[in-house]
Chains A and B, each alone.
Chain A
Amino acid sequence: MASNKKYWKSVEELNPNSSIVETLKQNEFVEEIPVDDFLGDKETLESSSTTRRDFLKYVGFSTAAATLAACEGPVVKSIPYVVQPEQIRPGVADYYATTIADGYDFASILVKTREGRPIKIENNTDAKFKGGANARVQASVLSLYDSLRVQGPKQGGEYVSWSALDNAVKSKLNALRGSSKKIVLLTQTFASPSTSRLIAEFTEKYGNVEHVQYDAISENAALEAFEVQYGTRALADYDFSKAEVIVSFGADFLGDWQGGGYDGGYAKGRIPSHGKMSRHVQFESNMSLSGANADKRVPLTPSQQKVALAKLYGYLNGTSVSGDLPANIDEAVKSAANQLRKAGSKGVVITGIQDVNAQGLALTINKNLGSDAFDTVSPRMIRQGDTKKVAQLVADMKGGRVGALITSGVNPAYTLPNASEFVEGLKNVELSVAFSMKEDETSTQTNYIAAAPHYLEAWGDTEMKKGYLSLMQPAIRPLFDTRQFQDALLEWIDSDKTYYDYIKETWTSSVIEASGWNQVLHDGVFIATLPEVEADEVAPAEDSEERAPAFAVASAVRSLSNASSQGMELVLYPKIGLGDGQQANNPWLQEFPDPITRVSWDNYIVVSKADAETLGLKNWNVANGGLNGSYAKVTVNGVSATLPVIIQPGQAKGSVGIAFGYGKKAGMKSEMQTGVNAYPLYQDFNTTQSVTVERASGEHEFACVQLHNTLMGRGDIIKETTLEIFNTKDHHEWNPVPEVSLNHQEVPATSVDLWDSFDRSIGHHFNLSIDLNACTGCGACVIACHAENNVPVVGKAEVRKSRDMHWLRIDRYYSSEASFELDDEKKEGLSGLFGDNGSLGGFGEMESPSENPQVAFQPVMCQHCNHAPCETVCPVAATSHGRQGQNQMAYNRCVGTRYCANNCPYKVRRFNWFLYNNNDEFDYHMNDDLGKMVINPDVNVRSRGVMEKCSMCIQKTQKTILDAKRDGRPVKDGEFQTACSAACDSGAMIFGDVNDSHSKVAELKEDKRMYHLLEHVGTKPNVFYHVKVRNTEEA
């Protein structure tokens, strides 16, 4: 079953004549070692003035010199504390619970600090809401050490003192108190009770104050729709673990839809247990993470999505809704409606369409279904931005009606679609102060830059979801002369309190007992028992009756079903890596390959294959495996942008997509200034726009890793089956153990062995379990691995050359047919080479599945084979096997022959082609003193010429063992963690000791879905996977 499917990673692979794919399959290292350059050219060799003898002399002298120079050890100075803080013990990590709330990402997290400096972000497993850190949150610790941060308050490019700034601001604010001009606070969404109280006090003092909240990527439509029906400006919360049928219309809820963080709950419902798992139908244009994980994905344009949503409502209610949809889509909508009706309260419908009607309709459907997954009592508060107010503010500024503008956590000069108008308006504002960590597009235009601290240096509190409070505490003393927005407000209202006192006051007066403060600070989270919750339970009944008329369903359905568009439709989206672009100067995020396109260091236009053909757009691979693409120009209402093109399988025909967050220029290292700013296209804060697309000249070189480290044509990487087969058939059928021939008999590959096995039953034996059903491909593990193991950033040019250093990659596979039956049918129907059913023609047809492929994600790291092929070929025994199951790599012993990488069937070994630290050629965080503070002191920083790879976080397992030894107790299950398993919010990665029969991982290893990668090779890996099961049941 599973092995019958044809998987492919790149469109290029579908081209039967592509030589490059074949080359990549055959070659371990795509680039030849350029010996011909200096040996092949005879003339140069002969005309060279350096004789062989000279050469040997130089070599001899330099070797001798180097040897002599190495004899003298350097004098190392050690400077202890004068007064050592009680809680700091050198060499022991401390963890603090805090919260990230940068306006885009909100999460309760733990910060790992060593010697007083934060080095890693971990999930706060105590948090009941948003306890998982996504890739950006994981990477945010590096943004703390950004070398381009503003180091103190500035006026006109010069550093000034805080008191000078205070005086200027206070006198101006006082002068404005009686005037007609208003004072505007333009801020990110804080969702902070203390900040709200503080802003109210500020307003009280200065009178004419307006607080405008602004989200770079707005959820305004959803907020308004919710407000209409439920009375609060908030977002409904969903618990997908309680849903059996999930129907999404353009909502990338596994990405950043409405603040994200839904993957944990979603993944819970995806693991088949007792024969059941959730069914996920996704209607969308761009191939998103959610679409990639869906059981059924229907590509359609944004305007068709609206019609489809209206029709779904019609089918559910039994009313007929007009509107044109292609027959197959209509069928899909009908089927989705049937399933929803069957599921009843176990169904949920969500939408990402930026349209009040669409959002309102989705809420109505959920309410009508009585969906269990749908929570309106305790909604999400993490998006508050009001686009109307922002638009009004820009108009006011231009009209000279704003006296003072104070911004915090926003960069409107970059993120506003009408940024130039904003900048123009700034000139009419008498006083402008920007609280900013960077000299960015906005702060360089304002009178003052008020240097703001990173969230790891600041105090704060949030109420991300009503009743779910969390605290933010500093994990490091401020690196620079910074002051947070709230402290400044306190100063400006002449309060002698610090913001810390203020928060404590807010909390102890309304949330907790004064004595509970330390406990809450320790936990970082607190769930308030709001008295209103009970009241609410009664209230909605009356409320909904009262307010329901406010949302006119019929007219909403009518307006949705009439949606249409001319020409191409553009869908703007945030990428997993950069999000809204706040952390664009973070090299980890820049190098993070997009889960879907596998492109790093760029944004681009995604187009469907059909559209690309009509527009004459192309992607092609060059000799070294690098991906090139043509450029296209996208125009929205006269605003245009030229970007490179990626042909995206599964992209809805008639739609194109562009990611936000790129093209930032101010306050950025030159290497990090990648891509094109998509915000100018974000007109009226609508993510869907009608556009014209035309071909532009030029050829773009991508840094795309999708053809890198291919498994060289070896099959059986991904195994998948359907829920029906999984439930009804024996696991030998859907998860067969490969067989090999031994003495002319077919025997299971696992039973044949070239080697004598060690006895692995004694002591710990580590295994990592990866469930392909639970893995959403979110990539938090990739960044966590980066942070934990000091993985270097190599830059765009090197990534393009296949030299990316990620120890952990998430492979993304497309598969051809939407269903297994079709897949099998076609494969069996092939006869002969040519003709209609010929295999050549058959593979030629592989183009059509790229219209809507199935996607599977597979994290691949070193498999820690018990019979590792790499170990046997190392000439210097630098890589060897530990009793605990880890394949160990002694960097100091490695001489860099790369035989191991050559012999690794999984292609997980990475070679240090260059020295990536202290090297101006690689001007990323490891090249400046500040950035180096993020380095984990327990893990070596590798030098040039050595091989490296996943160590199964041996530093963490060893630490766990040592802790247990010190306490004199056995290790408890769940204590062993790797960076990736700890970062995995969805429970896809479980790590542990299989010799502990009570452990979770031992149980998972006995699961029927368990299989090893390339089992027939006989490597006996210590990483195992669980067969992906798709719920293909149509109602």
Chain B
Amino acid sequence: MKKVIHRNSTSRILGISLAFLLAFSTTLFAQGTEAPAEGATVEATVDPVKGKALFKTNCAVCHDLKKKRTGPPLGGVGAKYEREWLYKWINNSQKMIKEGDAQAVALWNEWQPAVMNAFPQLTTEDIDNILAYTDAPPPPPVDDTAGNGGSGNGGSGSGGSGISSEIILGALVLVFGILVVMLFLVNKTLKRIAAANGVEIEEEKEKTIPIWKAFVQNQFLVLVTTVFLLLTGAYFAYGYLMQVGVDQGYTPIQPIHYSHKIHAGDNEIDCKYCHSSARVSKTSGIPSLNVCMNCHKSISDYNGEEDLANGYTKEFYTKEIKKLYEAVGWDEENQEYTGETKPVKWVRVHNLPDFVYFNHSQHVTVAGIECQTCHGPVEEMEIMGQHAPLTMGWCVNCHRETNVKIEGNEYYEKIHEELSKKYGVDKLTAAQMGGLECGKCHY
């Protein structure tokens, strides 16, 4: 009976604390939803949304709205100059300079040698649209675009959760602490009450052989257990030893937080745009910083999606871009290279031992293998990690299973015909082509 009472009290306390906790957390999550900001008023005749698209395709390479790029910032440019002059300027600026238009020459003097491309294809309507966008750009998509609304809200809601989850954890610890103390106290009180009432708590002590003694006496069991333990031990020891030197999942922290997810995933940049030497060389090559600057000369701020759960905010990414500028010696203010470079010391992720010869171009260009086959879903990786085990067994398996890509390659014509006759198969695997010989990779 007594025991039942005990259990009841315990469960009640647990129940109460759970309710308390839930109430607490609901208040925590309640703060989220904000009313979406109202869209800016726009003129009926011009469409700033179209203008934005045109701006992105034609102007954004050299111009920003607020910042200096190759050319001047274009925010509010419509108000600065006459419309007619702007039409002419955008359609062919060099012509105007040559003709000696005072305003044009002044601009040229300020910004030379940067030559503005001529855009004869833009109609006055297009230009109006662009100017509508530049003069009063629609508010950022987070607040505006319907498609992104839901996730945007969720994201901003959990923005404060970094701290609140800690608070929850703290509260939980506190509650459990109180619980333990309470249990102890209750137990003590009950015992005291029992003693006061004269109830004796019986402690049954039967004279049985302890289980361990019984176990020791049963030799068969001992033998079986020993064998079992040894086998398990060997299994784990083997498992441990086999993973020595295998760095699958190795995801080191890099000096610049470079997100393959954003570049290869969101923006769908081809792997070989940056890792160009993978086509021709044994190494895929870490792109030199001037390759980064091909794009980042005009992309100085991050405006894409955020991953607030991990703290990857826009500011965070923008800060990483600034790290690139520092390394390459790019003066954003004046849009020029300072010449002071600080080469980036990346941490190498894929380390093959020195006694292995691996050639990227053989696999990428000749065999036409996707990068992802070995490197995994890089386009989803926020931080680059080693996907494959890079063990010899892994290499060999692939060589056994993969057919040699012979289409359109005259090199293989003769050897493939002869070998496929010899082996009696239509398509040869890399292994049948000799891809398992020691000397193909070890020299």
Partners in one complex: yes
**Which residues in chain A, 62-84, are within 8 Å of chain B measured between CB atoms?**
67, 70-71, 73, 75-84
- B244 and A71 contacting across the interface, CB-CB below 8 Å: yes
Number of A residues, CB within 8 Å of B? 52
Q: Does A886 contact B (CB under 8 A)?
A: yes
Q: Does A170 contact B (CB under 8 A)?
A: no
1/0 contact string of A880-909 vs chain B (CB within 8 Å): 101110101111110000000000000000
Give A85's nearest chain B residue, CB to CB: B288
A884 CA / B415 CA spacing, docked (Å): 12
Contact of B439 among A78, A888, A892 (CB under 8 A): A888
Q: Does B110 contact A (CB under 8 A)?
A: no
Give A92's nearest chain B residue, CB to CB: B281
Residues on A with C-beta less than 8 A from B443 are 888-889, 939-940, 951, 954-955
Residues on B with C-beta less than 8 A from A880 are 437-439
Q: Does B357 contact A (CB under 8 A)?
A: yes
- B442 and A890 contacting across the interface, CB-CB below 8 Å: yes
Contact of B346 among A78, A886, A961, A964 (CB under 8 A): A78
Knowing A73-B247, A90-B285, A882-B439, the reply to whether A938 touches B348 (Cβ < 8 A) is: no
- A971 and B411 contacting across the interface, CB-CB below 8 Å: yes
Q: Does A16 contact B (CB under 8 A)?
A: no
Contact of B359 among A82, A890, A940, A962 (CB under 8 A): A962
CB B363 to nearest CB in A, in angstroms, measures 11
Give A77's nearest chain B residue, CB to CB: B345
1/0 contact string of A948-984 vs chain B (CB within 8 Å): 0001001100100110111111110000000000000
A98 CA / B400 CA spacing, docked (Å): 46
Q: Does A1008 contact B (CB under 8 A)?
A: no
CB A567 to nearest CB in B, in angstroms, measures 57
1/0 contact string of A738-762 vs chain B (CB within 8 Å): 0000000000000000000001011
Residues on A with C-beta less than 8 A from B438 are 878, 880, 882, 888-890, 893
Contact of A82 among B247, B341, B440, B442 (CB under 8 A): B341
CB B339 to nearest CB in A, in angstroms, measures 10
- A82 and B290 contacting across the interface, CB-CB below 8 Å: yes
Residues on B with C-beta less than 8 A from A57 are none
Q: Does A11 contact B (CB under 8 A)?
A: no
Residues on A with C-beta less than 8 A from B365 are 966
Contact of A80 among B245, B346, B354, B408 (CB under 8 A): B346
Residues on B with C-beta less than 8 A from A968 are 408-411
- A940 and B347 contacting across the interface, CB-CB below 8 Å: no
Q: Does B378 contact A (CB under 8 A)?
A: no
Knowing A83-B288, A763-B434, the reply to whether A91 touches B283 (Cβ < 8 A) is: yes
Q: Does B287 contact A (CB under 8 A)?
A: yes
Q: Does A89 contact B (CB under 8 A)?
A: yes
A81 CA / B291 CA spacing, docked (Å): 10
CB A876 to nearest CB in B, in angstroms, measures 11
A587 CA / B250 CA spacing, docked (Å): 42
- B343 and A80 contacting across the interface, CB-CB below 8 Å: yes
- A882 and B245 contacting across the interface, CB-CB below 8 Å: no
- A762 and B415 contacting across the interface, CB-CB below 8 Å: yes
CB A953 to nearest CB in B, in angstroms, measures 9
Q: Does A527 contact B (CB under 8 A)?
A: no
Contact of A79 among B281, B291, B343 (CB under 8 A): B343
Q: Does B2 contact A (CB under 8 A)?
A: no
Q: Does B94 contact A (CB under 8 A)?
A: no
Residues on A with C-beta less than 8 A from B347 are 75-78
- A891 and B442 contacting across the interface, CB-CB below 8 Å: yes
CB A863 to nearest CB in B, in angstroms, measures 16
Q: Does B355 contact A (CB under 8 A)?
A: yes
CB B330 to nearest CB in A, in angstroms, measures 11
Residues on B with C-beta less than 8 A from A888 are 437-439, 442-443
Contact of B415 among A763, A941, A958 (CB under 8 A): A763
Knowing A73-B247, A951-B439, A955-B443, the reply to whether A965 touches B285 (Cβ < 8 A) is: no
Q: Does B49 contact A (CB under 8 A)?
A: no
Q: Which residue, of B359, B362, B411, has the highest number of chain A Cβ atoms within 10 A?
A: B411
- A966 and B439 contacting across the interface, CB-CB below 8 Å: no
- A92 and B277 contacting across the interface, CB-CB below 8 Å: yes
Q: Which residue, of A763, A884, A964, A968, has the highest number of chain B Cβ atoms within 10 A?
A: A968
Knowing A81-B289, A892-B355, the reply to whether A884 touches B328 (Cβ < 8 A) is: no
A878 CA / B291 CA spacing, docked (Å): 43
- B288 and A759 contacting across the interface, CB-CB below 8 Å: no
Give A938's nearest chain B residue, CB to CB: B357
Q: Does B42 contact A (CB under 8 A)?
A: no
Give B353's nearest chain A residue, CB to CB: A892
Q: How many A-B residue pairs have CB under 8 A?
A: 156
Residues on A with C-beta less than 8 A from B286 are 78, 80
- B411 and A969 contacting across the interface, CB-CB below 8 Å: yes
Give B286's nearest chain A residue, CB to CB: A80
Residues on A with C-beta less than 8 A from B283 are 90-91
Q: Does B419 contact A (CB under 8 A)?
A: yes
Q: Does B205 contact A (CB under 8 A)?
A: no
A893 CA / B353 CA spacing, docked (Å): 13
Q: Does B327 contact A (CB under 8 A)?
A: yes
Residues on B with C-beta less than 8 A from A82 are 288-290, 327-329, 341, 343
Interface SS, B side: loop
Contact of A73 among B245, B287, B357 (CB under 8 A): B245
Q: Does B252 contact A (CB under 8 A)?
A: yes
CB B12 to nearest CB in A, in angstroms, measures 51
Residues on B with C-beta less than 8 A from A891 are 355, 442
A92 CA / B69 CA spacing, docked (Å): 36
CB A519 to nearest CB in B, in angstroms, measures 24
A79 CA / B328 CA spacing, docked (Å): 13
1/0 contact string of A895-937 vs chain B (CB within 8 Å): 0000000000000000000000000000000000000000000
Q: Which residue, of A77, A83, A969, has the highest number of chain B Cβ atoms within 10 A?
A: A83
CB A911 to nearest CB in B, in angstroms, measures 17
Give B246's nearest chain A residue, CB to CB: A73
Give A884's nearest chain B residue, CB to CB: B434
Residues on A with C-beta less than 8 A from B66 are none
Q: Does B3 contact A (CB under 8 A)?
A: no
Residues on A with C-beta less than 8 A from B411 are 961, 964-965, 967-971
A320 CA / B348 CA spacing, docked (Å): 82
CB B370 to nearest CB in A, in angstroms, measures 18
- B434 and A882 contacting across the interface, CB-CB below 8 Å: yes
CB A807 to nearest CB in B, in angstroms, measures 12
Residues on A with C-beta less than 8 A from B422 are 759, 762
**Which residues in chain A, 88-104, are within 8 Å of chain B measured between CB atoms?**
89-92
A966 CA / B288 CA spacing, docked (Å): 24
Q: Does B351 contact A (CB under 8 A)?
A: yes
A762 CA / B288 CA spacing, docked (Å): 43
Residues on B with C-beta less than 8 A from A759 are 422
CB A790 to nearest CB in B, in angstroms, measures 11
Knowing A82-B327, A891-B442, the reply to whether A91 touches B282 (Cβ < 8 A) is: yes
A962 CA / B365 CA spacing, docked (Å): 10
Contact of B245 among A70, A762, A763 (CB under 8 A): A70
- A78 and B281 contacting across the interface, CB-CB below 8 Å: no
Give A70's nearest chain B residue, CB to CB: B244
**Which residues in chain B, 311-348, are within 8 Å of chain A measured between CB atoms?**
327-329, 341, 343-348
Q: Does B172 contact A (CB under 8 A)?
A: no
Q: Does B80 contact A (CB under 8 A)?
A: no
CB B356 to nearest CB in A, in angstroms, measures 8
A490 CA / B239 CA spacing, docked (Å): 70
- A84 and B288 contacting across the interface, CB-CB below 8 Å: yes
Give A880's nearest chain B residue, CB to CB: B438
Q: List 6 A-B contacts (CB under 8 A).
A: A70-B245, A77-B346, A78-B346, A762-B415, A888-B442, A939-B443
- A residues contacting B by CB (< 8 A) are 67, 70-71, 73, 75-84, 89-92, 759, 761-763, 878, 880, 882-884, 886, 888-893, 938-941, 951, 954-955, 958, 961-962, 964-971
Q: A84-B288, A891-B355, A969-B410 are in contact. List 20 more A-B contacts (CB 8 A).
A: A73-B245, A73-B247, A76-B347, A81-B343, A82-B341, A83-B288, A83-B290, A89-B277, A91-B277, A882-B434, A883-B437, A890-B355, A941-B354, A961-B411, A965-B411, A965-B412, A966-B361, A968-B410, A970-B410, A971-B411
